[in-house]
A and B are shown apart, each in its own frame.
Chain A
Amino acid sequence: MRVREVRLHDFRCHSQLDVQLGPAVTVLVGSNGTGKTSVLEAIHLVLQGASPRTSQTKELISWGAEALRVEIELQDPEGRAVAAAAGYASTGERRNTAGGAPLTDLSRWEETCPVRAFIPDDVRLIKGSPRRRRRLLDRLATAIDPSYGRELAGYEEALLQRNSLLRKGVVGPDHDPWEALLARSGLRLAAARESSLRSLFGPYAYMHSLLAPAPSAPASLLYRTNVAALDEPSYRERLNDQRFADRRRTFTNLGPHRDDVRFTLGGRDLREYGSQGEQRTALLALVLAERSWVFETSGREQLLLLDDVMSELDDGRRRSLVALLSRDGQVVVTTTDLHYFTSEELCTMEVVELTGPAKRSGGS
């Protein structure tokens, strides 16, 4: 599905703003403080249930207003209009709707209109806890094999059961069946994650080479798991050996629930040793790689929200990026300066100028 129009009411600095999006790339242009990023946040809030910038939804409500409201007009592949909306009140009440009817589960939008955002200040995927990176692995593996989600749920249940034995201080044959299930399921998960990440590596290295300032060391994505090189019997043996140690720590140490992904540049781990710029480039390359990978493997388009990516790139890299953006679905990109785009490029894009907090609507 495509987003045709976004309407913001009392959202950050916008008391009222209507933005029409083009079928391919839409450029939101305006000087600092005109609320460009707020438009990206608003789209993300409706379709993903959260802002990519803050978890404090109250911050999003305009000063002095009681509630914010965002309406999005979508168009399905058959050309029918679908309305998605979200309202958040300062009292904490929230309401999501689809075609006016209340919506409790936003997975509907994730399935029909997946959105990914790149906000330069948010490099948590690379720097933060491994949980986000495992979510990336799960997303990729599910895209390849729909039964992956069930396998993961089964694994997590067996893990809870074994951890429950550990917390009760039980060590003995009661562990056997759960360890057998963990080994079987854990190896399947690790294999699925490993192969899906490997298939993302090509697009990632390519995107990275287009975006990183030359000369750049080769960028790599590495799957880290503590069950590598184990087969079912040795996995079980290892779990069995660790029963007492696991009882002390009250959780299971071995298994794909401890997996991680390492982003490296010439062998250097970007999580700990990368500059802010290197982390941003890696994240942008990842977002673009996942988008093109999803499109190639399933034909599904992702709506991409890119905040201020042009200013950090040199001219050649801007051309490469714009060429990438014009395929595989819709993109909204913010910029302070239209000169980052060539006039030929601008002809194919929807340009929306934001002039400031006052009520204002745009369109090309």
Chain B
Amino acid sequence: MRLTPEEALPLAHALIEAKETIGFCERCFNLTAETLCEICRDMRRDPSLVVVVEEPADVPVLERAHQIRGLYHVLGGALSPIDGIGPDRLRISELFQRIKDEDIRELVVATNPTMTGEATALYIAEQLQPLVAAGKLRVTRPAAGLPMGSDLEYADEVTLGRALAARTDVLGGYSAPPRSSETRHAGLQNDGQD
């Protein structure tokens, strides 16, 4: 309200222009000014890997990790009956259609680690269970771990608990030792040489 009319007008025009030009990507429902978003147009991306997120704002966050060079699918929220959001209010049927039409091998469900995000991930995974059982699709969820650069002391119990439950080997190469004591000894020596 502190803006003068001369200042407010360009802002209003910019907003209207954004509103008119920015829409949803037809394939993944990310924000874009084109029919397909920048990521969907990028031919170097791996189309067999799709990361499912709640909001368009989650896409640049995951992109910054430079970990996954696949495509995205933006749901537009998370399941929450209290707020009147059921599967029909999210782009879940569109996701299932993509799985039918495209050659998707893995779905990484990166919804938020909240109860609503968790429920959304469970819903999607359970609906796709027949494909998973048939070996046609893998449905994964990012592991919960400790934030890098922070101190163990500052991690909350839930994060710490989940990080410990999903612990991994520091170095690879470990396989369960055989039962007999003789071969186990040999196995340990082998590990030492690795």
Are A181 and B82 within 8 A (Cβ)? no
A161 within 8 A of B: yes
Q: Closest Cβ of chain B: how far from A212's Cβ, in Å?
A: 39
Residues of B within 8 Å of A339, CB to CB, are: none
User: Which residues of B from 89 to 125 have beta carbons under 8 Å from A?
Assistant: 115-116, 118-123
Contact with B along A153-177 (1 / 0, CB 8 A): 0100110111011001010011011
CB contacts (< 8 Å) of B81 on chain A: these are 161-162, 164-165, 168, 170, 174, 178
Known: A164-B81, A164-B82, A165-B81. A178 touches B119 (CB 8 A): yes
Count of A interface residues, CB-CB < 8 Å: 21
State in angstroms the CA–CA spacing of A154 and B87 once bound together.
Answer: 21
Instruction: Establish whether residues B122 and A157, one from each chain, have CB atoms under 8 Å apart when the complex forms.
Output: no
A161 touches B86 (CB 8 A): no
**Within the complex, which residue of A150, A165, A174, A180 is in contact with B157, where a contact is CB–CB below 8 Å?**
A150
How many A-B residue pairs have C-beta atoms within 8 angstroms? Tell me.
55
| Chain B CB within 8 A of A316 CB | no
Say yes or no: is B161 at the interface (Cβ < 8 Å to chain A): yes
- Dominant secondary structure at the B interface: helix
Residue among B115, B121, B126 with the most chain A CB within 10 A? B115
Instruction: Select one of A147, A150, A177 contacting B119, CB under 8 A.
Output: A177
Decide if B122 touches A176 in the complex (CB within 8 Å). yes
B158 near A: Cβ within 8 Å?
yes
- Judging by beta carbons under 8 Å apart, are A150 and B126 in contact? no
Any B CB within 8 A of the CB of A79: no
Interface contact B158-A150, CB-CB below 8 Å: yes
- Contact call A181/B122, Cβ cutoff below 8 A: yes
- Bound-state Cα–Cα, A154 to B117, Å: 12
Q: Per-residue CB proximity of A52-95 to B under 8 Å, as 1/0?
A: 00000000000000000000000000000000000000000000
Within the complex, what minimum Cβ distance (angstroms) separates A236 from chain B?
10
B123/A157 in contact, CB under 8 A: no
Q: Do B120 and A177 touch across chains, with their CB atoms under 8 A apart? A: yes
Q: How far is the CA of A170 from the CA of B157 in the complex (A)?
A: 35
Which size class do B's interface residues fall under? 20 to 34
Q: B158 to A177, Cβ gap below 8 A?
A: no
Q: Is the CB of A147 within 8 A of B126?
A: no
By the criterion CB–CB under 8 Å, are B161 and A161 in contact?
Answer: no
A176 touches B123 (CB 8 A): yes
Q: Is the CB of A147 within 8 A of B161?
A: yes
B48 within 8 A of A: no
Bound together, the chains give a CA A164 to CA B83 distance in angstroms of: 9
| A177 B157 Cβ-Cβ under 8 A | no
- B140 interface hit (Cβ, 8 Å): no
CB neighbours of A100 from chain B (8 A): none
Smallest beta-carbon distance B126→chain A, Å: 6
Is residue B28 contacting chain A, with contact meaning CB distance below 8 A? no
Question: Cβ of B86 and Cβ of A181 under 8 Å apart?
Answer: no
Q: Which single member of B82, B86, B119, B123 contacts A170 (CB below 8 Å)?
A: B86
Check B87–A174 contact: CB distance below 8 A: yes
- Nearest CB to that of B123 among chain A residues? A177
* Interface membership of A266, Cβ < 8 A: no
Judge if B80 is at the interface, Cβ distance under 8 Å: yes
Give CA–CA (A160, B115) in the complex, Å. Answer: 11
Q: Does B79 contact A (CB under 8 A)?
A: yes
Report chain B residues within 8 Å CB of A165: 81
Contacts A165-B81, A168-B81, A170-B81 given; does A176 touch B115 at CB 8 Å: no
Q: How far apart are the CA atoms of A173 and B88 in the complex, in Å?
A: 12
A146, B155: Cα distance in complex, Å: 13
CA distance A226 to B86 in the complex (A): 29
Residues in B neighbouring A176, C-beta threshold 8 A: 122-123, 126
**Are A161 and B118 closer than 8 Å at their CB atoms?**
no
What separation, in Å, do the CA atoms of A168 and B81 have in the docked complex?
9
Report how far A73 CA is from B140 CA in the complex, Å: 56
Q: Nearest residue in A to B119 (C-beta to C-beta)?
A: A177
Residues of B within 8 A of A164 (CB): 81-82
The verdict on A161 contacting B122 (CB below 8 Å), with A147-B158, A170-B86, A181-B115 known, is no
Which 4 A-B pairs have CB atoms at the shortest separation, nearest pair first?
Answer: A147-B157, A177-B119, A177-B122, A177-B123
User: Can you report 16 residue pairs joining A to B where beta carbons are below 8 Å apart?
Assistant: A147-B156, A147-B158, A147-B161, A150-B156, A150-B157, A157-B115, A161-B79, A162-B81, A174-B79, A174-B86, A174-B87, A177-B79, A177-B120, A177-B122, A181-B119, A181-B122
* Residues of B that sit less than 8 Å from A by CB: 79-82, 86-87, 115-116, 118-123, 126-127, 156-158, 161
Chain A interface residues toward B at CB < 8 A: 145-147, 150, 154, 157-158, 160-162, 164-165, 168, 170, 173-174, 176-178, 180-181
Extra contacts, 10 of them, besides A147-B158, A161-B82, A177-B119 (Cβ < 8 A), are A146-B157, A158-B115, A161-B79, A173-B127, A177-B118, A177-B120, A177-B121, A177-B126, A180-B119, A181-B119
